[in-house]
Amino acid sequence: MKKWILFSAMAVLLAWTAAAHAAGIVFTFENGQITGDTPKYYEFDIYVAASENTKIGSCIAYVNYNTTGFGNSIEANGKVTATRGTLVTSGAVYDGPKLNDNTTTKLAVTIDYTSGDPTYGADLGVTPQQWAHIKIEISDPNTSAGLSFDQTMMAAGACKQSDNNYYDPVVAMDTDDSSLPVQMAGIAATAAEGRGVILSWQTESEVDCAGFHVWRSDDREGRYNRLTTQMIPGAGNTSSRQEYAYTDRQVTAGEEYWYQVEEIALDGKSTFFGPIRAEGVSAVPVAYNLSQNYPNPFNPETAFHYDLPETSPVRIAVYSLIGQRVATLVHEIQEAGRYDVIWDARDSGGNSVPSGIYFLVMDAGKHHQVRKMTILR
Least trusted range by pLDDT, from 10-24, 90-104, 363-377: 10-24
CATH topology identical between 183-279 and 289-375: yes
Average pLDDT over residues 15-35: 74
Report pTM: 0.54
d(CA 140, CA 134): 18
Q: Is residue 34 over pLDDT 90?
A: no
What pLDDT is recorded for position 157? 81
Residue 73 has pLDDT above 50, yes or no: yes
Does the pLDDT at position 354 exceed 90?
yes
Mean pLDDT value across residues 301-312: 90
pLDDT of residue 142: 72
Structure confidence by residue, pLDDT tens digits, 238-256: 877 899 999 998 888 778 8
Whether 56 shows a pLDDT value over 70: the answer reads yes
**pLDDT value of position 290:** 94
Please give the pLDDT value at position 283.
58
State the pLDDT at residue 5. Answer: 45
Q: Per-residue confidence at 16, pLDDT binned at 50, 70, 90? A: very low
Question: Where along the chain do its domains lie?
Answer: 2-176, 183-279, 289-375
Whether 307 shows a pLDDT value over 50: the answer reads: yes
pLDDT tens across 275-293, in order? 888 876 655 677 899 999 9
Question: What confidence score (pLDDT) does residue 359 get?
Answer: 97
40 vs 11 pLDDT, higher one: 40
370 or 140, which is more confident: 370
Where is pLDDT greater, at 217 or 183?
Answer: 217
Higher per-residue confidence, 41 vs 38: 41
**Start-to-end Cα distance in the chain:** 58
Of 165 and 335, more confident: 165
Pick the CATH number of 2-176 from 2.60.40.680, 1.10.1370.10, 3.40.1280.10, 3.90.550.10: 2.60.40.680
Average pLDDT, the chain: 88
Q: What is the mean predicted confidence (pLDDT) over 188-201?
A: 82
Mean pLDDT is lowest, of 50-54, 76-80, 167-171, 335-339, for 335-339
Specify the fold of 289-375: Immunoglobulin-like (2.60.40)
How much is the pLDDT for 37?
A: 67
Fold of 183-279: Immunoglobulin-like (2.60.40)
